[in-house]
Amino acid sequence: MTAGTKTLTLLRHAKSGWDDPALRDYDRGLNAKGKRAAALIGGQLRKTPDAFDHVVASPAVRVVETLEQVEVGYGRTLAPRFDRRIYLASAVTLLDIVHETPAEATHILLVGHNPGLEDLAMLLVPASDEPLRVALEAKYPTATIAELSFEGAWGDLAAGSARLTRFVRPRDLDPALGPDED
C-alpha cells in the first residue's frame, strides 16, 4: 500500500444540450458553451504540476465530449477508463470507485455528474469558512474542477480527511461562461 500525499481532482461534465427531447439523458452531448468551458478548464489543468496517472470517467456522451474538449486545452491525451457506475452515482459509490484506485497512482481525475461529485467533495472536505469550501458549498457548476489532497492510501480516504486545494469554475476564467442555470 503506497502512502504519501494523494490528489483527487473531480471534474463535473460541461454544459450539455437539451435540444433533442427524444434523446435519453445518457446520450445528451455538449452545447457550444459547454465545449468552450471544457477546453478552458483543460488549459487550467495544464498548469497542474503533476500529470494524472489514473483517469476514470462516466461513459455518458456529455462526459466523453467533455474529456475530448479538456484534452484540447490540456494538450495531452487523458486515456480514461470508463466506468458505468459513475453515471449518476451517489457520493458513496464514487468513493468506492476511488478506493479501488491502484496503490501506485498519486493523482486521479474523476469525471462525472452532479449531485454525486458535489456530494463527494462535501463529504471529504470538512466544513469550514475557508473561501474555497464556501464556494464549493454554494454551487458546483458544470465544467468545474475541485482538487482535493490527503495523506495516506486511496483505501483510507474517508469523510473529512481531505483538503480542498483548488476550486475553479469556468466563469472564474471567462465571465462570459458565468451563470445561467448550471
Q: Residue 55 carries which side chain, given as an amino acid letter?
A: V
Cell numbers for 77, please give them. Answer: 491525451
Q: How far apart are CA 104 and CA 3, in angstroms?
A: 9
pLDDT, one tens digit per residue, over 9-23 is: 999 999 998 888 888
List the domain boundaries for the chain: 5-177
Instruction: To the nearest 10°, report the CA torsion of 81, 151, 118, 165.
Output: -110
Nearest alpha-carbon partner for 99 in 119, 118, 124, 77: 124
CB 20 within 8 A of CB 31: no
Greatest mean pLDDT among 16-30, 46-60, 99-113: 99-113
Sign of CA dihedral 6, 128, 168, 123: positive
Q: What is the average per-residue pLDDT within 44-54?
A: 89
138 Cβ contact list (under 8 Å, min separation 6)? none
Average pLDDT value for residue range 105-119: 97
For the chain, give the mean pLDDT.
Answer: 94
Check whether 181 has a pLDDT greater than 70: no
Amino acid (one-letter) located at 173: L
Residue 180: pLDDT band (50, 70, 90) is: low
Query: In 112-147, which positions are buried (b, 16+ CB within 10 angstroms) versus exposed (e)?
Result: bbbebbbbbbbbbbeeeeeebbebbeeebbbbbbbb
Residue type, 51: A
Mean pLDDT of 47-61: 92
Alpha-helix residue ranges (DSSP H) falling in the chain: 32-46, 61-74, 91-99, 116-124, 131-138, 170-173
CATH T-level topology, domain 5-177: Rossmann fold (3.40.50)
Region 159-178 average pLDDT: 95
Give the C-alpha distances (Å, rounded to integers) separating 9 from 52, 56, 109, 135, 162. 9, 11, 5, 16, 12
- Residue 182, pLDDT > 70, answer no
